[in-house]
Amino acid sequence: MSWLRRKLTGLPEGFTGNLDANESVAASGTSGGELVVATSLGLWLPGEERLGWHLISKATWDGSALTIIAAVETGTAGAAVLLTDQPPRRYPLEQPGKLPQAVQRRVTQSVVDRHRHELPGGGAWFVRRRVPGQDGTILQVRADAGVDPAALDALASKVANRLH
């Protein structure tokens, strides 16, 4: 019956993740013999759970490897979600297929708009994004190292209130 499940859902051979009922596979590839799978809700990376498209700050393809910069939610300021980027993770793809294009398209489509504000100590990107499987958008804020936290909190709250 596993062959029938793969055929009906488009799951690649050997995929062990549990897709949500409304989640579909867009593309897949292998990195070091392990699967990398792009779905409607996010990117399944080797040895990890799904990473939602709204938590991928940047994805690049250099012709041989997919590099992902993921973000983690580190707090809130009003209705804005504060993010911190993690170190880049590189996944050499033996057979990339349509995976690089699918990842680029999904990350890009999650961004509604973005703008940058300068603050004491640096600046911050404000990004409105769609969250896969949810209605509406969220406001995310990614600050440069050294930005004054109080100024960031005040501005993020102001921007979030203006958008809602």
The residue segments making up the domain with residue 88 are 2-163
What is the C-alpha to C-alpha distance for residues 125 and 127, in angstroms, rounded to an integer?
Answer: 6
Specify the DSSP class assigned to residue 88: P
pLDDT of residue 137: 93
From first to last of its 164 residues, the chain has per-residue pLDDT tens of 444 344 445 789 889 889 999 999 999 999 999 999 999 999 999 988 899 999 999 999 999 999 999 999 999 887 899 999 999 999 999 989 999 999 999 999 999 999 999 999 999 999 999 998 899 999 999 999 999 989 998 999 888 888 76
- Binning the chain into helix, strand and coil, the percentages to the nearest 5 are 25, 45, 30
- Residues in a beta bridge with 30: 35
Backbone angles phi, psi at 88, to 5 degrees: -60, 145
Alpha-helix runs per DSSP H in 81-148: 99-110
How many domains are contained in the chain?
A: 1
Q: Which amino acid is at 44?
A: W
- Please answer whether residues 43 and 17 qualify as being in contact, where contact means their C-beta atoms are separated by less than 8 angstroms: no
Given this model, what pLDDT does residue 47 score? 85
The whole-number pLDDT of residue 81 equals 94
Are the CB atoms for 164 and 90 separated by under 8 Å? no
pLDDT on residue 1: 41
pLDDT attached to residue 108? 95
Position 58 scores a pLDDT of: 95
On the CB side of 99, CA atoms within 13 Å amount to: 30
